[in-house]
Amino acid sequence: MSSLPRIDDDLREEIISRPDLILDDRDLMQALIAANERAMGNNIVDLRGIAMERLEARLDRLEDTHRSVIAAAYENLAGTNQIHRAILRMLDPIEFESFLHGLGGEVADILRVDAAKLVLESAQEDRETAIRRMGDVLSVAEPGFIEDYIAEPRGMAPRQVTLRQLARGDARVFGDKAPWIRSEACLLLDFGPGRLPGLLVLGAEDPHLFTPQQGTDLLGFFAGVFERAMRRWLS
């Protein structure tokens, strides 16, 4: 009588009738391959087993890449929809004051930022009344402020979109919210020939919401629409 343990008859019949159950189970196949290698001894190199291990490793990498590509595609789609919704809301108002209040309210909520600030450069001093009335969103600065602000802290050349992480926000831009701002997106605005530039600053308490490694295409598109909307108010 054989001393080898016998497999249960029902299980044996199930495996014989449906071998795909074994072939499709990676853990079972690896266990069978490992058992076969042990049975062959240490003096035999199983090239087929090595090749299978390499193929499995390559398959794992391909699956990881596939999941990463799908996740990035969903993230880009969600970001695109988010920007489109913010633009549609931004274009609704027919008055400048409503436009600014919407920027600091629903538009900021759609973009999931904690602060949205608009900085305009001006050499005039007769706009102080408007600044007080819309001080929660709008700030007016002297010429050259925007270029210097974007260049901080390492003398970076001005770009349309600048993303960076912060130890804290700048009180000149964010006011009372400055201590809690940990990242920001600076959108440089071009209002056309003969006009001083503007700057839209989106601030977040999340230090990872805006980082230099992120793409800027969607925010660049948002900045382009925003500056065109602003031109009708400045004309």
Is the preceding omega at residue 5 within 30 degrees of 0, hence cis?
Answer: no
Average pLDDT over all residues of the chain: 81
Would the pLDDT of 182 be above 60? yes
Model confidence at 131, in pLDDT bands (50, 70, 90)?
very low
Q: 199, 189 in Cβ contact below 8 A?
A: yes
Distance CA 81, CA 103 (A): 17
Would the pLDDT of 45 be above 70? no
Q: 188, 161 in Cβ contact below 8 A?
A: yes
Would the pLDDT of 199 be above 90? yes
pLDDT at 133: 39
- How open is the CA angle 120-121-123, to the nearest 5 degrees? 140
Would the pLDDT of 108 be above 80? yes
Mean pLDDT within 132-151: 80
Going from the N-terminus, what domains does the chain have, and what CATH number goes with each? 9-60 (no CATH), 79-234 (3.30.450.40)
Closest by CA to 211, choosing from 151, 150, 163, 149, is 163
DSSP summary character for residue 205: S
Give pLDDT tens digits for 73-93.
767 777 888 999 999 999 888
pLDDT at 156: 66
Would the pLDDT of 49 be above 70? no
